[in-house]
Chain A
Amino acid sequence: DVKVTQSSRYLVKRTGEKVFLECVQDMDHENMFWYRQDPGLGLRLIYFSYDVKMKEKGDIPEGYSVSREKKERFSLILESASTNQTSMYLCASSFRRQDGNGYTFGSGTRLTVV
């Protein structure tokens, strides 16, 4: 069964901490994405990567950075966590071209910043 695995289901971090969210996919997908989900706002794209070492900003990149050193792994970094980054974080992957099959999502990481 193909999978996107996020390293943590729940995280609690303190304001100002550097936070790493890890995502691994086993489908040999070229593209990987990080979204956050907030009530009433749907899924908002933070960053995406279409190849190793490549990255592009999404709609809300401020306060975040990413790393993709290997094809199967895409990391989201919160440089200095703030309370407004409390959210559900979703990683996804896909083949390069969108052909109606969409993305495969991980189970999500519920991050709380206190």
Chain B
Amino acid sequence: DQQVKQNSPSLSVQEGRISILNCDYTNSMFDYFLWYKKYPAEGPTFLISISSIKDKNEDGRFTVFLNKSAKHLSLHIVPSQPGDSAVYFCAASLNDYKLSFGAGTTVTVRA
């Protein structure tokens, strides 16, 4: 039973515009949420995280928003760049060291 869901398998956005990636979760006890970025034939790299006690975290062009009442988080990338074309995974932890991952969203940034 998947506790972290990314319902959009793909997203296409024009360079310079905003990319918004969505993630839903079922377990209200998750205490950290993370986003990873993955290029083909490489391992995922950590992008940004947010604690469950916050509703927003920003790092440069990347901002993560957490809506606990809706059990929903989103990643905003502004402005989108060609190098942002990758697969993005949402993940969540439950007060321990294990992460549950979503299925991923493939982002394509068009020139």
Contact = CB atoms under 8 A, between A and B. Distances in A.
Interface residues of B, number: 27
Of B43, B95, B98, most A-chain CB atoms within 10 Å:
B43
Nearest to A29: B97
Contacts of A12: none
Contacts of B102: 42
Contact of A50 (B42, B46, B91, B97): B97
Nearest to B34: A102
Given A102-B34, A106-B43, 13 more contacts: A31-B97, A40-B9, A48-B98, A50-B97, A92-B43, A94-B97, A95-B97, A98-B32, A98-B96, A102-B91, A105-B36, A105-B44, A107-B42
Interface of B: 6, 9, 31-32, 34, 36, 41-46, 49-51, 89, 91, 93, 95-99, 101-104
Pairs of residues from A and B, 4 with the lowest C-beta to C-beta distance, nearest first: A105-B43, A42-B103, A98-B93, A100-B49
